[in-house]
Structure 1
Amino acid sequence: MSEGQLQGEARFRRRAIKVDEAMRLVLEAAAPGRQESVPLWEAGGRRLAETVSATTDWPPFARAGLDGFAVRSADTALASPGAPATLRVADTVAAGALASAAVAPGTAVRIMTGGAVPPGADAVVMLEQTADAWVDGLPAVQVRSTAEPGQHIAPRGEEFARGSEFARPGELLRPGHLALLGTFGYAHVPVYARPRVAVLATGAELLPVEAPLEPGRIRDSNSAMVAALVAQYGGVPVLFGRVPDEQSAAAQAIADALQQCDMVITTGGVSVGDYDVMASLLRLIGTEKEQGEWMERTEAGGSIERYGGKGKGKPLDSDEVIIGNAAPSAAVSGAVVLKAAAAHGAGVSCRQGSFGPVPPAEPRAAALDAISSEPIAEATQLGSDAAPSTTAPQPAMEMARSEDGQLGQASASARSLLPLASQLPPASNPSPRALLPQDSRLLFNKAAMRPGAPTSAAVISGKLLIALSGNPGACFVGFELFARAALLRMQGASEEAARPKQVTAKLVGGFDKGSPHERFVRARLYTENGMLYADPLAFGKSSMMASIPNADGLIRLKAGASGADAGAIVDVIVL
């Protein structure tokens, strides 16, 4: 494989996993994250991070439910419109005030909605069932109906007893929650922090949005769309600009993004093209299972087999090696060879004959991690192309890009210093795998879906990386299926609540095209006569974006030789 070509035959051996399984892996990796305390008025729409409880009984006193008179129910036992009970008005109680005395037999207290019911009274008669009167020159009231004990009174603790929980972690705070929180004195509320999400675009063909078009190039539209989606689902987008199609630069950009953010979303570079940098970089991470299997093969009996052929196991039985196209070096141990080759991504050959390429990146990384007893030296400054980037990433809506709109050029130390076996000649590039933390694992690098099959995900230093397609339609679908779920989960939603909401609808127009994988079709949803309808939108191909603004649902069609007929009942993900 040439220096400029990032992918080899392994690009065609990616195993697709079902969408539901991919979503499960993403949700498992996206555990609820940082917590913070925010002012009560800012807590709406956030998810609670701690259990909150009533700090007092509620209501804290017996409270009048309406305007009227607080009475003793026994004094009204014989009252009727024709023979009302006449009671002397002893006091008036406004909301927030207390009666000066208890209600004695034959008396009543004028009371307002929300006022504290005075001692002695066990009922409130609404104002409309009374009439003003005078007794011996003093104010009185005529009650024209019988009052039942407890009538129109909210007893103390009717809604909440002190110490009772009223909201738990992960609950979405709605306006009603804020009313309760204010009632119980929560001036600041513990919530899950909004995840900071790095947005990186790959592709040498991309231009800044403000740049004029050039032949063969297009503007970066995905970054703005992804940033808006991140914000829509509660995250804080941090724009890192464009990353060159070069492994070390991409690895450095991701490492920089992870320093500042809770999650990384990339667009483009995930397919099988020669220069699809994210696909090749994710393959360097590999899965723990693949790493373990390869190490078992290499450690058993000290022999190594070619990776990925049909029974072509040819042991490496010479300590003299050739790294890439370099001349034979001095004799070094096989362990050093493996380590250096893993670090350089180079091919390895025996002097007696071709040994074949070093295994793909997953086992390469395992060998690099597992073999550590050999002496390692640092390389010196490489060629003149190792100049450092002129600007460091800075969080801005939030933007972090260099003056030319690109980010991800390896720093001077990353591009010039490299772990090497001291006996071996220096390499021309740093190891992309060495730029990423060793505790990295691939979740998947292909999903059984259309569009967006190359969508991938990994965990790097405990943080989620989701690599979306560069095609706008596929990028949009991949975000709605995986990134959206991850964002909600990181903000405290349960795994079930974080999953996309799915309903059934009647298909308006037929969709004839079959697919070997599940297909997600952008659609407009509407209700008519109590029935939900899904109308497939035009311009729905992976590379097309005209239908994205009007899509409020994704029709989910099962894999098969044909699609679905008009009138069929189909599953739909609500956007």
Structure 2
Amino acid sequence: MNSKEEAKDSKFHRKALQVAEAQSRIIEYGKLLQMEEVPLEQSAGRYLAEPVYAPHPFPAFNRSGMDGYALIAADTEETGEGKWVWLDVVDNIPCGAVPAADIRRGTAARIMTGAQVPAGADTVVMLEAAESREEGGRLQVGIRKPQAAGKNVTLRGYELREGELVLPAGRMIKAGDIAVLAAFGIPLVKVIRRPKVGIFATGTELLDIHEPLVPGKIRNSNSPMLEALVRESGGEPVMLGAIVDDIEQARSKVQIALESYDVVITTGGVSVGDYDIMGDLIRENSGDMLFNKVTMRPGSVTTAAVRGGTLLLALSGNPGACFVGFHLFARPVILQMQGADQPFLPEWTAVLGADYNKVNNYTRFVRARLEIHEGQLYAYPASIDESSVMVTIKDSDCLIVIPPEERGVSAGDSVKVLKLPGEIRG
């Protein structure tokens, strides 16, 4: 930190926290929200409020894995070397039907894939390994090779036993989970309510996306980005527009938002300039402040406070810093409010794909893309990694963590990365 930064920190009562300490302070306010029931078809992406236990075995009956014949394996012991065994076919069992007859020695049943194996049968011979004939007015099936008991039969409870844990609480519901819930006849799913997140941008210089560009102004790109990030995290974003650089207006709007939503996020106005109103607003009640500086680049001015029990997170107005700050602080809180079992970004190890030579006194979170080459994971730093740069956000699927003690990192070095949500695109 240079002397100018130290002077500003002293003037504005900033005390920098390590990222982990700032995260631990803010995550305490990710209180679990209430439970609600939603239809199964609307449950994708939601977080389970309670564990789900199997109400019955699955499958609920011995199930055929083939089209063929259900029979008793012992009846085929004498086959082989040209010797056949012929069995009377006493039933025909399509999928969804209940067997009409038990299988006894010397008998078999025609059966379809997925159908219930009749009592007495312990194996299913696939259709291609059997032959049929009529003998004395009776339909018979011929088997020419010995068959093992249990072959092509999925036993009752093979996948899940009754009372066994199916899905734990805190799990985000995906397509496979929906299939399991449907198979157990669960039409309503108990999930945690989505947090409602109020989003403000601050700055007289901001234009709405529909407005024409004019000299000295910029379009508000952070708010739509935050809206998407909140949705990506399972929350319900509420767009509250932009606040001009007027502290009275900001105070009124932020207070109403804090009384209305589970979390309030602002972007911009947290530095130490003459028009950085969010910093001034939060300093008015410094006893409610959690932190107002973090030892990180970008986004060291990230600020958090609690008002009336509601979390207020003030992110940098620089797009890169806003993006990083959201993933490190806002996303974990939003996820924890839904009971997510893994609220923080997962940490991976990768090989650095290109030299990174920036030196900082703070930990740097470098936007980067991941690629896999010959089974090895590589991380390539964004070509432009300035805090104010927006365009490289779209190409980033991870953040490379560069500790402050590093004086440049070389291609081929092992680095820690925080995996951002979504697939690897590189």
- TM-score normalised over the length of structure 2: 0.91
Amino acid at match of 2:301: P
Looking at structure 1, the residues matched to 319 and 114 of structure 2 have their Cα atoms a distance apart, in angstroms, of: 57
Amino acid at match of 1:154: T
In the other structure, the counterpart of 1:460 is: 307
Looking at structure 1, the residues matched to 190 and 406 of structure 2 have their Cα atoms a distance apart, in angstroms, of: 51
Picking from 481, 490, 508, the partner of 2:353 is 508
Picking from 376, 391, 394, the partner of 1:546 is 391
1:183-207, CA deviations, whole angstroms, 9 ceiling, x for partnerless residues? 1111111112222211101112222
Looking at structure 1, the residues matched to 30 and 297 of structure 2 have their Cα atoms a distance apart, in angstroms, of: 24
CA contact (8 A) 2:315 2:326 kept: yes
Q: Residues 25 and 70 of structure 1: is their aligned pair in 2 closer, same or farther, counting only changes over 3 Å? A: same
Count of aligned pairs between the two proteins: 413
Amino acid at match of 1:559: P
1:280-429 matches, within 5 Å, as 280-286=280-286, 362=287
TM superposition shift of 1:11: 4.3
> Does the residue aligned with 2:48 lie in a helix, a strand or coil?
coil
> Does the residue aligned with 1:98 lie in a helix, a strand or coil?
coil
1:331-353, CA deviations, whole angstroms, 9 ceiling, x for partnerless residues? xxxxxxxxxxxxxxxxxxxxxxx
Looking at structure 2, the residues matched to 159 and 263 of structure 1 have their Cα atoms a distance apart, in angstroms, of: 41
Looking at structure 2, the residues matched to 447 and 9 of structure 1 have their Cα atoms a distance apart, in angstroms, of: 12
CA contact (8 A) 1:459 1:465 kept: yes
> Does the residue aligned with 1:514 lie in a helix, a strand or coil?
coil
Tell whether 2:322 aligns with 1:475: yes
1:75-96, CA deviations, whole angstroms, 9 ceiling, x for partnerless residues? 2221225111111111111111
TM superposition shift of 1:561: 6.8
In the other structure, the counterpart of 2:180 is: 180
Q: Residues 566 and 62 of structure 1: is their aligned pair in 2 closer, same or farther, counting only changes over 3 Å? A: closer
CA contact (8 A) 1:516 1:561 kept: no
Q: Residues 74 and 210 of structure 1: is their aligned pair in 2 closer, same or farther, counting only changes over 3 Å? A: closer
In the other structure, the counterpart of 2:289 is: 442
In the other structure, the counterpart of 2:424 is: none
In the other structure, the counterpart of 1:28 is: 28
Q: Residues 81 and 229 of structure 1: is their aligned pair in 2 closer, same or farther, counting only changes over 3 Å? A: farther
TM superposition shift of 1:100: 2.1
CA contact (8 A) 1:11 1:272 kept: no
Q: Residues 203 and 49 of structure 1: is their aligned pair in 2 closer, same or farther, counting only changes over 3 Å? A: same
In the other structure, the counterpart of 1:119 is: 119
Q: Residues 508 and 147 of structure 1: is their aligned pair in 2 closer, same or farther, counting only changes over 3 Å? A: closer
1:19-56, CA deviations, whole angstroms, 9 ceiling, x for partnerless residues? 11212222222133233222112212221111212122
TM superposition shift of 1:178: 0.9
Gaps of 5+ in 1: 1-7, 287-361, 363-440
Picking from 528, 536, 545, the partner of 2:373 is 528
Cα RMSD, aligned residues only: 2.0
CA contact (8 A) 2:9 2:15 kept: no
Tell whether 2:57 aligns with 1:66: no
Comparing 93-102 and 240-249, the one that deviates more: 240-249
CA contact (8 A) 1:59 1:155 kept: yes
> Does the residue aligned with 2:407 lie in a helix, a strand or coil?
strand
In the other structure, the counterpart of 1:358 is: none
In the other structure, the counterpart of 1:319 is: none
Tell whether 2:137 aligns with 1:150: no
TM superposition shift of 1:148: 2.8
Looking at structure 2, the residues matched to 534 and 475 of structure 1 have their Cα atoms a distance apart, in angstroms, of: 21
Tell whether 2:93 aligns with 1:93: yes
TM superposition shift of 1:453: 0.3
Picking from 331, 344, 355, the partner of 1:484 is 331
- TM-score normalised over the length of structure 1: 0.68
CA contact (8 A) 2:364 2:403 kept: yes
> Does the residue aligned with 1:524 lie in a helix, a strand or coil?
strand
CA contact (8 A) 1:64 1:111 kept: yes
Looking at structure 1, the residues matched to 358 and 159 of structure 2 have their Cα atoms a distance apart, in angstroms, of: 56
In the other structure, the counterpart of 1:451 is: 298
Tell whether 2:414 aligns with 1:569: yes
Quick check: which has more Rg, 1 or 2? 1
CA contact (8 A) 1:88 1:135 kept: no
Amino acid at match of 1:564: V
TM superposition shift of 1:270: 0.8
Amino acid at match of 1:526: E
Gaps of 5+ in 2: 1-7, 421-426
1:122-157, CA deviations, whole angstroms, 9 ceiling, x for partnerless residues? 222222221112221321010112233333222222
Amino acid at match of 1:545: M
Identical positions, percent:
44
